[in-house]
Amino acid sequence: MAKRILSTLILWTIVVLCVRYFGSTGGIWLITLIAALTLREFFGLVERMGLHPFSRFAIAAGVVITLAPRYLSPHVPALDAGLLLALATVILAVRILGERGPENRVETLGWTLFGLFYVPYLLHYLSSIMMIEHPHPLTGLVLCVWLIAVSKFCDTGALLTGLAFGRHKMAPGISPKKTWEGALGGVCTSALVGAVLAWLCRSYLPPTLTPALGAAFAVPIALVTIVSDLVESVIKRRADIKDTGGTIPGIGGVFDLSDSLILSAPVGYALFKLFL
* pLDDT tops 90 at residue 11: no
Cβ neighbour number for residue 179 with a 10 Å cutoff = 22
| Nearest Cα to Cα of residue 261 among 17, 37, 9, 2 | 37
pTM: 0.92
* pLDDT tops 70 at residue 265: yes
pLDDT of residue 161: 94
- Bridge partners (DSSP) of residue 169 are 179
Average of pLDDT values for 171-190?
92
Cβ neighbour number for residue 251 with a 10 Å cutoff = 18
Sequence letter at residue 15: V
The domain in which residue 179 lies consists of 2-275
pLDDT band at 18 (very low <50, low <70, confident <90, very high): confident
Identify the residue with better confidence: 122 or 51.
Answer: 122
Identify the residue with better confidence: 249 or 161.
Answer: 161
Q: Distance (Å, rounded) from C-alpha 61 to C-alpha 29? A: 15
pLDDT band at 4 (very low <50, low <70, confident <90, very high): low
* pLDDT tops 90 at residue 23: no
* Each residue's pLDDT tens digit, 97-149: 876 566 677 888 899 999 999 999 999 999 999 999 889 999 999 999 999 99
Number of domains forming the structure of the chain? 1
Please count the CA atoms within 13 angstroms of the CA of 205 that sit on its side-chain side. 25
List the end-to-end C-alpha distance of the chain, in Å, as a whole number: 38
The three-class DSSP label of residue 53 is coil
Judged by phi (left if over 0) then psi (alpha if -120 to 50, else beta), residue 252 lies in: left
